[in-house]
Structure 1
Amino acid sequence: MNILPANQQKTFTTPNAVVVPLATPSLGSQSLSVIRQRMAPQHQNPLHTQTHEEVMVMLSGKMSVQVAGEWAELHAGDTLTIPAATPHSLENRSDIDAEWLIISPAGMQFHGPDGALMTPDWAR
């Protein structure tokens, strides 16, 4: 059994969001990654892709998402599946924080807006 108590969860602050890894390879997960993200109002994640499919589960607030050039709005309780290698971006256009989970295969990597392959510390 692998329990990560709330008071031992590490928080990473990026220019666009607060990120908390809940299950990653460095935390003992062998096949899945679960990340909690929170974004303040009027912030955004730039257009990017991932090496594997990603599932986004909205926990609170609302988020505008662009996937393959198509915009949609997600609300608390909504789930979005983003295929691997599909360009997408996120924007919190509201006046309250938005929070969601990202669920993906362990070891997923990102391609940033410039195409560079990245593995952020919070995803390891």
Structure 2
Amino acid sequence: MHIANLFADAAPPADGERFEALLTHKNLVVERIVSSSRIQPTLYTQPQDEWVALLQGEAELEVAGETVTLRAGDHLFLPAGTPHTVRKVAEGSVWLAVHLH
């Protein structure tokens, strides 16, 4: 048995975001994302469903053309094929993303 902490080693990268797979099992991937405030907005349109929770920080996303603001504790379901972009994010924001393939 391995116990880990979502906030351990969570220093943000100098630029962009760091993606770390925490669990991969059958059609499920759980990852932690740690964000720098210096990101390059990237459009994602993924083939899998994704549920994302912002554990720490704040973020502004564009989801299917709509602006969405997330604060610590907020979560969002993104069905497969939904275009989304992180526009702004607070330094050191920590996310938990669950991908259902």
Deviations 1:16-39 (A, max 9, x none): 211111012xxxx11311010011
**Share of identical aligned residues, percent?**
32
Relative to the length of structure 1, the TM-score reads: 0.66
- Whether the 8 Å CA contact 2:16–2:38 is kept in 1: the answer is no
Residue number among 83, 86, 89 corresponding to 1:90 in the alignment: 86
Residue number among 78, 81, 95 corresponding to 1:100 in the alignment: 95
- Whether the 8 Å CA contact 1:52–1:83 is kept in 2: the answer is yes
Change over 3 Å in CA distance of 1:60–1:17 after alignment to 2: same
Quote the offset at 1:42 in angstroms.
3.1
**Structure 2: any 5+ residue segments left out of the alignment?**
6-12
Quote the offset at 1:4 in angstroms.
4.7
- Whether the 8 Å CA contact 2:16–2:37 is kept in 1: the answer is no
Say whether 1:50 aligns with 2:46: yes
Say whether 1:76 aligns with 2:72: yes
Alignment partners' CA distance in 2, 1:36 and 1:86 = 20
**Structure 1: any 5+ residue segments left out of the alignment?**
8-12, 109-124
1 or 2, which has the higher helix percentage? 1
Deviations 1:80-115 (A, max 9, x none): 111111111013343x3211011011xx4xxxxxxx
After the TM superposition, which parts of structure 1 deviate over 2 Å for at least 4 consecutive aligned residues?
3-7, 91-94
Change over 3 Å in CA distance of 1:71–1:33 after alignment to 2: same
Alignment partners' CA distance in 1, 2:71 and 2:99 = 20
The code of the aligned residue for 2:26 comes to: Q
Question: Root-mean-square deviation (CA), in Å?
Answer: 2.1
The code of the aligned residue for 1:23 comes to: L
Alignment partners' CA distance in 1, 2:51 and 2:44 = 15
Aligned pairs, number = 93
